[in-house]
A and B are shown apart, each in its own frame.
Chain A
Amino acid sequence: MREITYRQAINEALAEEMERDPRVFIMGEDVAIYGGAYGVTRGLYERFGEERVRDTAISEAAIVGAGLGAAITGMRPIVEIMYVDFMGLCMDQLSNQVAKIRYMFGGKTKVPLVVRTEGGAGRTLGAHHSQNLEAWFIHIPGLKVVMPSTPYDAKGLLKSSIREDNPIVFIEHKMLYNTKGLVPGEEYTLPLGVADIKREGEDVTVIAYSRMLLFALEAAQELAKEGISLEVVDPRTLLPLDIETIVGSIRKTNRVIIVEEDCKTGGTGAEIGMQIVENAFDYLDAPVVRLAGADVPMPKSPVLEELAIPSKDRIVTAVKEMLAGGSSL
């Protein structure tokens, strides 16, 4: 296996799927000549040409709406919304059109559309370029929501997403693009809706996705030195959620902490936590704990931004408090 970045892994998935299927094409703002705001589509315009790698005007609603129109008439578009923060501009298209059309038409159409976007804090860009809005999308039946944390997952899940006949919101994280991981040179795909146990352990289950998964693994490493063993579960797909794997882990550890970067209130952790209560209440020895983003617009200041999202240290503290039977957070 080779070590490549998350950015390269996504780029490879795009290139391979475009090579494999001529119906696959990319459109979005600055995806062609520029190669994407975070460089993810670099080289694809040169390789596949302007027909299949299309720069658009700044027209988010048209990008997603036209993606849908192309998807239901024989193409397999991958559209890019530069920052998840801009999804508001195409939310009607996504929610009222993309997600519902198949159902409204009695199942007589398919929507092979991938909306790739990017989110998260970490670059001190302030309230319009740092959000975590996955909870918006998991509230819309008809969509699937994928948030990979590693290069391996990103590549395998994106390839599956492109082959899916359902609309996918695929959310990358700006702070992960330069992270590296092992990725096979050979072709592979990963199934949507299947969680991955990123580290096995006994004492507490930590559920984390996207960038927070990295923080959870760091916390696990640190706590291991003190003899505390975390099992780290990465759902990878938030909708559909692999609750079986999560319940399986909780049956073993009897304790669970959910780590999410999005705002706590009405966030993804609320949904995961409630599904745990519905499916694993009898196995729990302690209340479910959420470590989440603060319920505030993301502040610009680097010192405030850091406080607004969970950290390795907060995970370590929460685990210790939980094991000590102490107060929740």
Chain B
Amino acid sequence: MAEVKVSCDEARHLLKQMMQIRQFEDKIMDLLAQDIVQGGSHLYAGEEAVAVGAISAIRPDDYIASTHRGHGHCIAKGGRLPELMAEILGKATGVCKGKGGSLHLADVATGNLGANGIVGGGMGIATGAGLSIKMRKSDQVVLCFFGDGALNLGIFHECLNMAAVWKLPVVYICENNHYGMSVSVKRACAVGDLTKRALAYDMPAESVDGMDVLAVKEAVSKWVGQAREGNGPSFLVCHTYRYYGHSRSDPRVYRTREEEEEWRARDPIKTFSIRCVQEGILSQEEVEALDREVASEIEEAVKFAVESPWPEPEELYEDVYA
């Protein structure tokens, strides 16, 4: 692992966001069990370093497009925890007025083009945002997140090709957590090295340790820089792991407990905290204080969400058309 080349403030920011995501997701798991969150939720626990590392490499006016596992991206892009939690409960105060829920979570004001219930559903949106940036002659960029599962949909190929031909400022970030629901990437993809997928579009590609927030940040910074300079899109594969099952009812028969333990041993929050403390960037007390601070933020978010009203019946017909 490389030396930690970050300031104390930045380390605190990265760590805090990862803790926010982890605690947010752990809390939702509790709320699902109590039926306070209904329906379902795909949780991002274990993958925090990807969203946080990548999004820390862009500006607030840049865009992201997210996935069905989108809470982490939304938080990292600056979404406010109470409104996000309220949305996941389907409350009127939710960031999408309770109409989107977990699968469609998006704080649009933060440049988030949305979670998506359709695998690969964000890829066209991200590509089009890249086109818009180019046509508006802006220097913004787009980070397009998607899972390994999306690699085998037509839209993936169509978008990468379009972005490459038109040199659009999009960084395509594959969150390779090694499974699309129960199907391992080995059983779903013909290539072992996923970066090879970019070869067909003559797009630069790179693999990175998705459990290492700084490694992700460094790689994304580089490709974002290229995109801002007009050098077009790139393809980044972040190797990571989702801790929970695909969804609440998943008994995880397709993977072993040993494999889960191996990945948990590389936990992005634990390893980054340890590195920060070892290198004297943060003290152990600061790390613990941060953890407590986040815990109380999450409690507040849940309180806000639970106490918020349900949408009024009239809301059903609002927002269908502009």
Contact = CB atoms under 8 A, between A and B. Distances in A.
B104 interface: yes
Interface in B118-134: 118-121
Given A30-B182, A30-B183, A299-B316, A57 B104 contact: no
A292 to B, nearest CB: 14
Interface string B181-195: 111000111000000
Contacts of A317: none
Nearest to B116: A128
A59 B153 contact: yes
A125 B311 contact: no
Contact of B103 (A34, A126, A304): A126
A33 interface: yes
A127 interface: yes
A234 interface: no
Interface in A75-124: 85-86, 88-89, 123-124
Which of B38, B120, B253 has most A Cβ within 10 Å?
A: B38
Given A58-B152, A86-B118, A297-B320, A127 B310 contact: no
Contact of B40 (A55, A125, A307, A308): A125
Would you call the interface of chain A mostly helix, strand, loop, or mixed? Answer: loop
Nearest to A58: B149
Given A34-B253, A58-B188, A129-B117, A304 B183 contact: no
Given A57-B149, A61-B154, A301 B187 contact: no
Contacts of B100: 126-127, 300
Nearest to A128: B117
B180 A58 contact: yes
Contacts of A125: 39-40, 101, 103, 117
Nearest to A299: B99
A295 interface: yes
A29 interface: yes
A270 interface: no
B77 interface: no
A144 B214 CA distance: 55
Contact of B316 (A37, A88, A304): A304
Interface string A43-66: 000000000000111111100000
A114 to B, nearest CB: 21
A266 interface: no
A88 B315 CA distance: 27
A303 B104 contact: no
Interface in B90-118: 90-92, 96, 98-104, 116-118
A124 B101 contact: yes
A302 interface: yes
A57 B152 CA distance: 6
A29 B250 CA distance: 14
Contacts of A60: 153
B88 to A, nearest CB: 9
Give the 7 A-B residue pairs with the shortest CB-CB distance, closest first. Answer: A128-B117, A300-B101, A301-B90, A57-B152, A34-B182, A301-B98, A124-B39
Interface of A: 29-30, 33-34, 37, 55-61, 85-86, 88-89, 123-129, 294-297, 299-304, 307-308
8 contacts: A58-B150, A59-B152, A124-B101, A126-B39, A128-B118, A296-B317, A300-B100, A304-B90
Given A123-B39, A302-B38, 6 more contacts: A33-B254, A34-B250, A58-B180, A128-B116, A299-B311, A299-B316
